[in-house]
Structure 1
Amino acid sequence: MAVIPAVLIPIFFFGKRVRRLAEGSQAAVADVGTYAGEVIQNIKVVQSYTSEEREQQAFDKEVESAFEVAKKRIKQRSFLISVVIMLAFSAISIMLWVGGMDVLNNKITGGELGAFVFYALMVAMSVATIAEVYGQLQRAAGSATRLLELLEITSDIQSPDSPREINIGSSTKTSNSSTSNALSFENVSFHYPTRPDSAALKEINLDIKKGQVVAFVGTSGAGKSTLFELLQRFYDPQQGCIKINDCPLQEADVHALRRSMGTVAQQPVLFSANVWHNIRYGRPEASDEEVIDAARKAHAHEFIEQLPGGYASDLGEKGVRLSGGQKQRIALARAILKDPEILLLDEATSALDAESEYHVQQALNTLMTGRTTLIIAHRLATVLHADEIVVMSEGRIVDKGDHKSLLKSCAIYQRLCELQFDA
């Protein structure tokens, strides 16, 4: 009985340390999961800005940090188990020594019983330890099998071994924007893998010249957003070909292709970081002065300066600390900093109030200057002055032209105008 406190003391002392380290390990693992979840959730933004390698390096650091905490926890737990086992065996040894002396003095009988108890305790503890270790190994093996399956999965979208260059240039950098095509859709048809019986696009044929502003209008589900998905090669069409500067997308380097494009979505994606990080995501090597200049052009500098920490202010998860218009202007600053040749605007102002829309539209006008621009819009007022308006319905192009010509020739466009402008 006297040795029981000697065994319990290290259990309580080291047990608290192991518990603290276990909590830290769980927190570190949770951070890894949160980081991975955020990147996966925003994978299209990561791919658009060709940041896969950078995100992988950042993820490796998160995992390494969690691994170091886990190693400390395991060392403490191992030390605790070693101390307890040593004390337990010491207690048993002392007990047997005392019992042996009693047997020699004929005070008790049954030395064989003492030996049996000794070996029985050893076997019991060994079996218990083996069972615990075996269970942990089985759990680890199951997890490793699943992880290996995930690691072996590769993307269907790959760059060719010898990719062609896609030096498209923007009209600010070239003078032949009106005579050559920046983008071409040649008999393109596509269905999503999860919906093989429902075509999202059907026989799309369209040429877009360098520096041209082209707007896509139509009801929801017409295939407008799918065009943007194909342009960035998130998917490949099952039929037809898409070309950028006369180069089929499948023959171009995927990263070079996506670097040539800048996207501004209806729901801007912001990361749980400060303003510097969110704007600089468009070009990680950009200087502070370039970031601030991009923010000024996006009409975002003024409200950023009013944040508690200015550009160092943390924006919270998905930019929760900003309004919709402010988020949109941060996303625009990111696109301006990236300086893409082709600009993809997916209903960038449809969810904003009048004042926010005004500021965002001013920033968009700056961003669109001299660039090949594709716009998806439900508000026709924002695209009335586009060089060409493409009307889509059920995955097809039903008509195209400017605002005046479509009012005369396209019933779908007429109906959209009546619904919005008469209202």
Structure 2
Amino acid sequence: MYPFGRVVYVLAHFSKVSETFILREVVALRRMGLSVQVAALHRVHPGGLTPEEEACVREALFVPPLFLPSVLLANVLAFFRAPRRYARAFAQVVGMPHRSLYFTLRALYHFLAVGYLARALSGGPPVAHLHAHFASVQTEVAMGLATLLNVPFSFMAHAKDIYVDANALREKMMAAKFVATCTDYNARHLREICPEIAERVALVRCGVQVEGIAWATPEASCPPLILSVGRLVEKKGHRHLIEACGLLKGLGLSFRCLIVGDGPLRDRLSEEVARRGLDDFVSLKGSLPYSQVEAFYRRATIFALPSLVTEEGDREGLPVVLMEALAFGVPAISTATSGIPELIVDGQTGLLTPPADTQALAMAMARLIRDEALRRRLSRDGRRKVEAGFDLERNAAKLAALFERPIRRRAYPSTAKRA
């Protein structure tokens, strides 16, 4: 049992299929002996979970609709229990220099979750630390809750939350005990935004459980299978993948392309497949349980994710699906955007093409389909890259050490001063 109390993860949705990496991170921390509980604003039922993952979801706290009487009553009680602290938390979250009235009103609305969670977390072991994933409303709730409970908080920055939303990001960073992020690319960006706390910006990869994935030398399926996994949003580049498949068809190559995932662009991408006459080559499979995705990884000849930076600035952090593909031994093709080159080193652990370059993507896929020796080398070296720097347990241990540092200082202040 963790001796210092609970670490509470503050999330917007739990557990989204596209955020399964957070659930796995919580499980890894619990295996290390940390008492970790999730508090989420919205419940999502993904299905296909392991018993350990089911336990995390079952033990999570979920905030009901924020205008229910129970939520409002919890805030009234929180105010009368500690009026000055409640007012300070309110001023901190709502009074930050938000980007616009929309963000101010959003913070005001979600502050109701602070009072509710303060009351809901009052039972059981004491809360020792709060940690949010994504620097958006999750971090705002964690910040207010930390003030109300008088505990430290931290957050993990990813992609859209710091490149598109980026709401009061500097103020959130200044208030946090540490800021974790999944790429060196992000870390440099965050340190430029808030150089005063550069030493508190930590690189913690969103890893995969490498030990649980059996690597296999890739065998070319007949026809070769091109696999892509990810939400159907612009930054994933699926439109360019479909266009590249049209070029492969024009080259006379036999192949199948499976795109796993769901999102707002599904109808448009389906229309693109039909318009290009690719119904016999490209299939959109929708969102699937991980067990089925795993089966596709084991059959895949190539993994392709042609990510890009959108006009509004949205981009990847470092897609976990690329780590999974390399762990399974599937040679991967992606683009030199954001933190992706930290995993995919062109010609060594995979192939990189310029973003939105359909011709280059098609040529890279054709090259891998035809060159078995290259596939085998990339498969071997890609797996080694994941083992060396992207293992889930190793990165979870780094995160656990970051949690413990401020907690130990609070528990043993004299020892902390001597250190």
TM-score, length-scaled by structure 2: 0.25
Bigger-Rg structure (1/2): 1
TM-score, length-scaled by structure 1: 0.25
